Amino acid sequence: MDYKKVLRLHYVSKLSSREIAAVSGSSKTAINEFLKRFRESNELDFPLPEAVTNELIEEKLYHKSGPAGSLYRDFDKEAVYRALAKKGETLKHLWQKYNAKGVVDGLAPMSYRQYCRRYSEWMASRNVTIHIPRCPGVNIELDYAGKTLVIHSRSNPAHTTKVTVFIAALTYSDYFYAEGMTSCEIKDWIRVNNNALDFFGGVTPTITPDNCKVAVTSNRDWISPALNKDFQAWADHNDTVITPAKVKSPRWKPVVEGHVKIMTMHILLDMSEMTFYSLEELNRVLWSMVAEENRRNFQGLNYSRLDVFEQEEKETLLPLPKTHFEYLERKVVTVAPDFSFIFDKVHYTMPRRYLRKEVEIRAGEHTIYVYNKQGDLIREHKRSYTPKDWVVIPSDMPREYKDYGYWNAPYFLSKAAQIGPNTRAVIEAVIKKFHYPVQSFRSCFGILKFAQRYSPYVLEKCCEAALKADRCNYTYISNTISGFYGAQPEKKPEAIEQTTTSTARGIYQDDASRYSLENLLKKQEVDHE
């Protein structure tokens, strides 16, 4: 069992034992037993010290061999607080002095990250209103500017798009980043936070966001806020801790609140008088003005935010992971009889064993990840952004008619021939357009459906026109068939009898009623996009 993951899912993500069991591969009983042992332990508490391993957790909870005690040497937070009031003193310097003492009474010193976290938690628990000295490299505050901007349309001057401005500020140096957003969905929130960390060149042990829904889903009592699961995953990826501010308590994030005023008075007010026609253009101006503000000396002083950041805070930031956290859009889809599922109007192929089965799609910017119901990764596809495109893995494609399932080329040709020679010729032309016949089946399916919507006679006449115009495709027939409806004879042709046809091994049997075209039409959703 990954004990650290279970604790994170329980305490941070607020998942139930049943939910944790589903994603961890352990039983609900085992999860409950572990959490009970952890709560009753006098040696462990959440959040865990950085150096605690799963092996150590198992040893402490299941194989106790000595008296209970702390794993790491504590330190005097009050003394640290008083020391930081001295000019020039930093949290990192105090940690270095603490760390230099090494192991004392069998207790090892905390890492700098854990030291900062413990001190930050202690400061928060004091709930004081007096000024708290800032410590370099400890915290980033996040918020939206109160004032918004707009982007204009060149083709329609009356049309505008609202732009919300995101702000991230380091609490020690006041060094800050800003970016305009036309959408405030979670994927956009993840993107701007990635950009902010790139701008700073590192991350802090704690990050304090405003209580926007993309960050915090619930924060009624502040003690146990419910975080957005994707934002929590982003924090885990960057090895930081999200500490939301109290609701309607600006003093919990005074630095970024100050920058909201700066942005409004010094930057956004000027930008509101400018005209922008794209988000890229707006952000270029915004970043230029932010850079100017960061270089501007503090009032009455001969140094700037940039000076403090580069000289005192930059080196205290923790390193970023090698890759950005990637937001994954999730969707459950069903693999169709044409060996593909559709995501964002693009077909992606799957092996035969997944036909008519549900799979979970997690779509990143460049890759489509496919998971089974058990949560196992079963396939990766390179993502395409071309509508109607097919992303094909050749081994997925059937080699013989008997491998196609209920849809195959002879089946569609046979059904079309019953309507008329023109319809059969159109279906044959549609099939020949694709390298793999299965890629044509949804179009064939949609064309034949018009025989039920109008009549076989109307479809045959429309297909005749399609052949003359050399436009043998679903789109042409869909756009023109209604014009042939008035030309049908007074007496419509007899309905096509459901008789058995047998022209090739493995082709469709018309007398198999559950696989009839009528029933298939009810079960399958055709993508005409």
Give residue-wise pLDDT tens across range 95-110.
Answer: 888 989 888 887 888 8
Same domain, yes or no: 174 and 296: yes
Burial of residue 222, with CB atoms counted within 10 A of its CB: 0-12 exposed, 13-18 middle, 19 or more buried: middle
Rounded distance between C-alpha atoms, residue 227 and residue 213, angstroms: 9
pLDDT-derived band at 257 (thresholds 50, 70, 90) equals: low
- For residue 125, being part of any structural domain is answered with no
Average pLDDT for residues 35-64, to the nearest whole number? Answer: 75
Q: Of 269, 270, 215, nearest to 240 (Cα)?
A: 215
Count CB atoms within 10 A of the CB of residue 291.
Answer: 12
- Checking if the pLDDT of 57 tops 60, the result is yes
Q: Say what the alpha-carbon torsion angle 324, 329, 334, 339 is, to the nearest 10 degrees.
A: -40
Which pLDDT belongs to residue 339?
A: 84
Which pLDDT belongs to residue 205?
A: 87
- Checking if the pLDDT of 55 tops 90, the result is no
Average pLDDT for residues 340-345, to the nearest whole number? Answer: 89
Q: Of 280, 272, 84, 303, nearest to 175 (Cα)?
A: 303
* Arithmetic mean of pLDDT over the chain: 78
pLDDT-derived band at 244 (thresholds 50, 70, 90) equals: confident
CA distances to 6, 17, 94, 376 from 27, rounded to whole Å, are: 12, 9, 45, 17
Average pLDDT for residues 297-306, to the nearest whole number? Answer: 82
Rounded distance between C-alpha atoms, residue 50 and residue 112, angstroms: 10
Q: What is the pLDDT of residues 464-481, one digit of tens each?
A: 999 999 999 998 998 998
- For residue 123, being part of any structural domain is answered with no
Q: What is 456-468 written as a DSSP string?
A: HHHHHHHHHHHHH
Same domain, yes or no: 345 and 379: yes
Q: Contact at 8 Å (CB) between 401 and 507?
A: yes
pLDDT-derived band at 486 (thresholds 50, 70, 90) equals: low
Last residue of a domain, one of 396, 414, 443: 396
Range of the domain at 345: 329-396
Q: What is 301-337 written as a DSSP string?
A: SS-BHHHHIIIIIGGGSBPPPSS-----EEEEEE--T
pLDDT-derived band at 503 (thresholds 50, 70, 90) equals: very low
Q: Contact at 8 Å (CB) between 317 and 173?
A: no
Rounded distance between C-alpha atoms, residue 193 and residue 91, angstroms: 25
- For residue 119, being part of any structural domain is answered with no
Same domain, yes or no: 382 and 420: no
Q: Of 271, 276, 281, 287, nearest to 161 (Cα)?
A: 276
Q: For tokens 């001969």, name the residue.
A: 302
Average pLDDT for residues 285-313, to the nearest whole number? Answer: 89
Count CB atoms within 10 A of the CB of residue 440.
Answer: 24
Structure tokens at 232: 């929590």
- Which of 22-36, 358-372, 380-394 comes out lowest in average pLDDT? 22-36
- For residue 473, being part of any structural domain is answered with yes
Report how far Cα 379 is from the mean position of its chain's Cα atoms. Answer: 18
Average pLDDT for residues 226-232, to the nearest whole number? Answer: 80
Handedness of CA 143, 149, 151, 157 (dihedral sign): positive
Same domain, yes or no: 280 and 165: yes
Q: For tokens 């966001």, name the residue.
A: 209
Which pLDDT belongs to residue 74?
A: 85
Which range has highest mean pLDDT (227-231, 284-288, 305-309, 454-458)? 284-288
Q: What is the pLDDT of residues 429-459, one digit of tens each?
A: 998 888 777 778 888 988 998 998 888 989 9
pLDDT-derived band at 500 (thresholds 50, 70, 90) equals: very low
Rounded distance between C-alpha atoms, residue 474 and residue 476, angstroms: 6
- For residue 74, being part of any structural domain is answered with no
Backbone angles phi, psi at 219, to 5 degrees: -150, 55
pLDDT-derived band at 374 (thresholds 50, 70, 90) equals: confident
Which pLDDT belongs to residue 512?
A: 41
CA distances to 16, 410, 437 from 395, rounded to whole Å, are: 40, 22, 14
**H helix or E strand, kind and range, residue 519:** helix 517-523
Same domain, yes or no: 453 and 356: no
The residues that bridge with 108 in the sheet, in sequence order, are: 72
Which pLDDT belongs to residue 225?
A: 61
What percent of the chain is predicted at pLDDT more than 70? Answer: 78
Last residue of a domain, one of 396, 417, 432: 396
Q: Contact at 8 Å (CB) between 414 and 443?
A: no
Structure tokens at 141: 């505050």
Same domain, yes or no: 285 and 162: yes
Q: Contact at 8 Å (CB) between 120 and 95?
A: no
Same domain, yes or no: 406 and 354: no
Which pLDDT belongs to residue 252?
A: 45
Q: Contact at 8 Å (CB) between 515 and 435?
A: no
- Checking if the pLDDT of 223 tops 80, the result is no
Same domain, yes or no: 165 and 263: yes
Same domain, yes or no: 174 and 307: yes
Which pLDDT belongs to residue 198?
A: 96
The one-letter code for the residue type at 425 is A
Backbone angles phi, psi at 522, to 5 degrees: -75, -30
Average pLDDT for residues 168-185, to the nearest whole number? Answer: 90
- Checking if the pLDDT of 492 tops 80, the result is no
Rounded distance between C-alpha atoms, residue 204 and residue 168, angstroms: 12
Which pLDDT belongs to residue 199?
A: 96
Q: What is the pLDDT of residues 113-153, one digit of tens each?
A: 778 877 777 776 654 333 444 678 888 988 888 788 999 98
Tell me the Cα Rg of the chain.
Answer: 32
What percent of the chain is predicted at pLDDT more than 90? Answer: 23
CA angle 311, 203, 200 (to 5 degrees): 50
Count CB atoms within 10 A of the CB of residue 468.
Answer: 9
- Checking if the pLDDT of 70 tops 70, the result is no
- For residue 225, being part of any structural domain is answered with yes
pLDDT-derived band at 178 (thresholds 50, 70, 90) equals: very high
Give the number of domains in the chain: 4
Which pLDDT belongs to residue 496?
A: 43
pLDDT-derived band at 525 (thresholds 50, 70, 90) equals: very low
Which pLDDT belongs to residue 146?
A: 77
Q: Of 390, 291, 376, nearest to 338 (Cα)?
A: 390
Which pLDDT belongs to residue 287?
A: 96
- Which of 62-66, 170-174, 433-437, 508-512 comes out lowest in average pLDDT? 508-512
Rounded distance between C-alpha atoms, residue 114 and residue 121, angstroms: 10
Segments of 97-170 assigned E as strands: 108-109, 139-144, 149-152, 160-170
Rounded distance between C-alpha atoms, residue 252 and residue 171, angstroms: 11
Which pLDDT belongs to residue 163?
A: 94
Count CB atoms within 10 A of the CB of residue 220.
Answer: 9
- For residue 120, being part of any structural domain is answered with no
Which pLDDT belongs to residue 165?
A: 92
Same domain, yes or no: 301 and 406: no
Same domain, yes or no: 8 and 152: no
Same domain, yes or no: 220 and 338: no
Rounded distance between C-alpha atoms, residue 231 and residue 227, angstroms: 7
- Checking if the pLDDT of 359 tops 90, the result is yes
Average pLDDT for residues 264-290, to the nearest whole number? Answer: 89
Which pLDDT belongs to residue 67?
A: 37
Which pLDDT belongs to residue 134?
A: 61
Last residue of a domain, one of 21, 40, 69: 69
